[in-house]
């Protein structure tokens, strides 16, 4: 009987609760109907505009961008702990910094920072003791991939990690940074040991690291254990446009668009990073439509040429070029090695410059892209046009070449080869095996048609490590230099001699006091206009003295399918990419 009464009481309480809930539901439904009826037609933004309009549907939300690179990255952070292996740091897809660039030689762009520091203001100043500091202000409301707010202290912590010698600390801004501090949550101050002209470029900054994740481990672990933490791989937390979802070693990395990215959530919802080492597999995958974007580490000339003649010409894709390297002939200036000695005669060097068929060289080596080089500066430099106005150029002109050789005391013998006092002019042309050897054969033929019979010496892969051998060639050697910051290959300080154990990139030992002064100005002066003027004058001097013989621009190449809208060169704007 007690049990029955208890059950009855329970049933009564349940009926009461259902009645109450039912009444509440009717009240909520009625209220919603009233509010809906009173709302403005269209249901968008109210009179004060404080309610966001409904975003249109994103057709690419559920699509995947396949992004290909050559090597599986060791790190996907803005900066790796070590950089000894090819591809040690992957494309900047998963992390972000104060600034970013589309690639070598391209302009620095703002990313996490609000503005660039300005020289001679409180944001960029040289101190009375000769030191320097830059002040960066972070954009508001920045977060890590795990939702934790990004603060300036994360940059100070990043410096404490990256400055260590075991983490390649000497490469961080060339070792010029002395400290990084955080006066408040959004202010990053970088302290330099001395003036550093490129302090506001990407190489003058320090990446942030998630202090809330790594600080305790950094204090407790040795460097090997710290570098082995899963944060650097499968559990990476960064700041970039895409957040790591899965990393399958040896196969791929899958990621999803990060809603709180500094420039907004990427339009394409997923990104898959793959690495392709086999050339045939790469070309087949691209032609089959399995890859939408090809990173600059992936394509070399041979693969680019195949794609250009098929994939590009058929309208399926586009190749973008960045002229980052200059192929040129380095000349021997050390008197004890220079032979024939006539190569040190300016008129002879000018004659040889006029006898180079650069178009034949470009056509054979790079199918006409991106073009011949008449200087050691990249054509994408902001002041290249100013240099071009004053540059001494040496067009193919065999008549002018002959005039100069005659002035230098040479005449052609019965076989059409220049000779002087009975001695034929037969300088040696050295080149590394592979690309250099192919270039040398073309150049050798070009000079022979101009009356100069060169002998060819091929430097093997093993021999190229012999610094004495590659520094004591008798006449000419085909070399390569960076096009974004050229100059070190011609400064006296870089001269490779025995007393320096043959260390130095100026292997021919060109030396000019005025050039050294201009190069030093470019390296140390902070004012951008003054640096540019010094660089222009330095490059003009090299052209007038024929310090070397520029041939053509080498380049990095990116490629993207025709159904992908947004890419040019690089992927700094990947958040805006979409499919057609």
pLDDT (tens digit, 9 = 90+) per residue, 376-396? 998 888 899 999 999 999 999
**Are 298 and 331 members of one domain?**
no
Q: Give domain status of residue 491, yes or no.
A: yes
pLDDT score of 485: 65
Say which residue, 496 or 322, is predicted with more confidence. Answer: 496
Strand partners, 561: 317
C-alpha dist (Å) from residue 580 to 264, 305, 317, 566, 574: 20, 26, 13, 10, 15
pLDDT digits (tens, 9 = 90+) for 171-201: 788 788 999 999 999 999 999 998 999 899 8
Q: Are 404 and 480 members of one domain?
A: yes
CATH of residue 262: 3.40.190.10
Locate 213 and state its tokens: 């994740």
Q: What is the pTM of this model?
A: 0.75
Whether residue 505 lies inside any domain: the answer is yes
Strand partners, 506: 495
CATH number at residue 353: 3.10.105.10
Answer yes or no: do 440 and 566 share one domain. Answer: no
Q: How many domains is the chain partitioned into structurally?
A: 2
- 312 three-class SS: helix
Q: What percent of the chain has pLDDT over 70?
A: 88
Report the alpha-carbon distance of residue 448 to residue 356 in Å, rounded.
Answer: 10
Whether residue 146 is contained in a domain is answered as: no
- Tokens standing for residue 419: 């000779």
**Mean pLDDT estimate for the chain:** 87
Question: Where is pLDDT greater, at 58 or 90?
Answer: 58
Residue 169 included in any domain: no
Q: How confident is the model at residue 231 (pLDDT cuts 50, 70, 90)?
A: very high
Q: Examine residue 576 and state whether it is found in any structural domain, yes or no.
A: yes
Q: Is residue 171 part of a domain?
A: no
- 339 and 443 in a single domain? The answer is yes
Q: What percent of the chain has pLDDT over 90?
A: 67
Judgement on whether residues 551 and 505 belong to the same structural domain of the protein: yes
Same domain membership, residue 406 and residue 292:
no
| 369, 247: one domain | no
393 with 438, same domain: the answer is yes
Domain coverage including residue 533: 323-557
* Residue 506 covered by a domain: yes
Residue found under tokens 């961080």: 172
How far is 215 from 310, CA to CA, in rounded Å?
52
Q: Residues 404, 512: one domain?
A: yes
- Picking from 22-31, 115-124, 433-442, 556-565, which range would have the lowest pLDDT averaged per residue? 22-31
451 & 504 share domain: yes
Averaged pLDDT, 536-556:
94
Q: Which residues pair with 275 in a beta bridge?
A: 69
Q: Which two tokens stand for residue 324?
A: 């980052």
Collapsing DSSP to helix, strand or coil, 382 comes out as coil
Identify whether residues 523 and 433 lie together within a single domain: yes
Over residues 123-159, the pLDDT tens digits come to 999 999 999 999 999 999 999 999 999 999 999 999 9
Q: Does residue 298 carry a pLDDT above 90?
A: no
Q: How many CA atoms, within 13 angstroms, populate the side-chain half-sphere of residue 74?
A: 13
Residue 421 lies in a domain: yes
Same domain, 529 and 464: yes
What confidence tier does 316 reach under pLDDT thresholds 50, 70, 90?
very high
Angle between helices 358-366 and 435-449 in degrees, nearest 10: 150
Q: Does residue 340 have a cis bond before it (omega within 30 degrees)? A: yes
């Amino acid at each position: 009987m007690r049990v029955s009464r208890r059950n009855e009481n329970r049933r009564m309480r349940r009926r009461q609760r259902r009645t109450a809930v039912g009444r509440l539901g009717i009240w909520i439904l009625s209220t919603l109907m009233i509010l809906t009826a009173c709302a403005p037609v269209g249901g968008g933004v109210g009179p004060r505009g404080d309610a966001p309009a409904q975003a249109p549907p994103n057709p690419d939300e559920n699509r995947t961008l396949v992004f290909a690179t050559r090597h599986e990255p060791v790190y996907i952070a803005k900066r790796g702990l070590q950089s000894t292996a090819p591809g040690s740091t992957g494309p900047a897809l998963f992390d972000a910094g104060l600034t970013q660039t589309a690639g070598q030689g391209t302009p620095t762009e703002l990313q996490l920072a609000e503005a660039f520091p300005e020289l001679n203001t409180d944001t960029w100043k040289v101190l009375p003791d000769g030191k320097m500091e830059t002040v960066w202000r972070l954009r508001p409301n920045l977060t890590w991939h795990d939702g934790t707010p990004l603060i300036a202290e994360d940059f100070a912590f990043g410096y404490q990690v990256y400055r260590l010698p075991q983490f390649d600390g000497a490469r961080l801004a060339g070792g010029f940074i002395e400290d990084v501090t955080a006066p408040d949550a959004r202010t990053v101050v970088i302290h330099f040991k001395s003036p550093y002209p490129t302090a506001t470029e990407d190489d003058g900054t320090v990446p942030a690291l998630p202090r809330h994740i790594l600080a305790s481990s950094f204090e407790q672990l040795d460097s090997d254990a710290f570098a082995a933490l899963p944060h650097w791989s499968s559990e990476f937390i960064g700041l970039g446009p895409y957040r790591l979802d899965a990393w399958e070693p040896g196969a791929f990395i899958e990621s999803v668009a990060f809603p709180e990215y500094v420039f907004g959530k990427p339009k394409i919802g997923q990104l898959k990073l793959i690495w392709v080492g086999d050339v045939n597999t790469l070309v087949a995958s691209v032609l089959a439509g399995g890859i939408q974007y090809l990173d600059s580490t992936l394509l070399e000339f041979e693969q680019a040429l195949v794609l250009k003649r098929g994939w590009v010409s058929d309208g399926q894709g586009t190749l973008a070029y960045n002229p980052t390297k200059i192929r040129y002939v380095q000349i021997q200036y050390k008197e004890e090695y220079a032979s024939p000695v006539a190569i040190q005669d300016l008129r002879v060097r000018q004659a040889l410059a006029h006898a180079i068929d650069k178009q034949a060289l470009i056509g054979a080596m790079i199918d006409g892209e991106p073009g011949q080089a008449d200087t050691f500066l990249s054509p994408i430099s902001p002041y290249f046009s100013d240099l071009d106005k004053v540059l001494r150029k040496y067009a193919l002109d065999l008549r002018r070449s002959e005039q100069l050789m005659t002035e230098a005391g040479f005449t052609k013998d019965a076989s059409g080869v220049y000779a002087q006092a009975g001695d034929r002019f037969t300088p040696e042309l050295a080149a590394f095996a592979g690309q250099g050897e192919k270039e040398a054969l073309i150049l050798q033929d070009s000079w022979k048609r101009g009356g100069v019979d060169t002998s060819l010496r091929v430097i093997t892969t093993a021999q190229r490590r012999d610094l004495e051998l590659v520094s004591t060639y008798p006449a000419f050697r085909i070399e390569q230099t960076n096009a974004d910051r050229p100059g070190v290959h011609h400064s006296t300080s870089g001269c490779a001699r025995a007393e320096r154990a043959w260390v130095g990139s100026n292997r021919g030992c060109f030396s000019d006091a005025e050039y050294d002064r201009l190069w030093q100005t470019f390296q140390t002066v902070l004012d951008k206009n003054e640096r540019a003027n010094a660089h222009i004058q330095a490059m003009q001097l090299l052209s007038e003295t024929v310090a070397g013989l520029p041939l053509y621009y080498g380049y990095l190449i990116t490629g993207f399918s025709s159904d992908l809208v947004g890419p040019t060169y690089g992927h700094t704007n990947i958040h805006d990419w979409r499919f057609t």
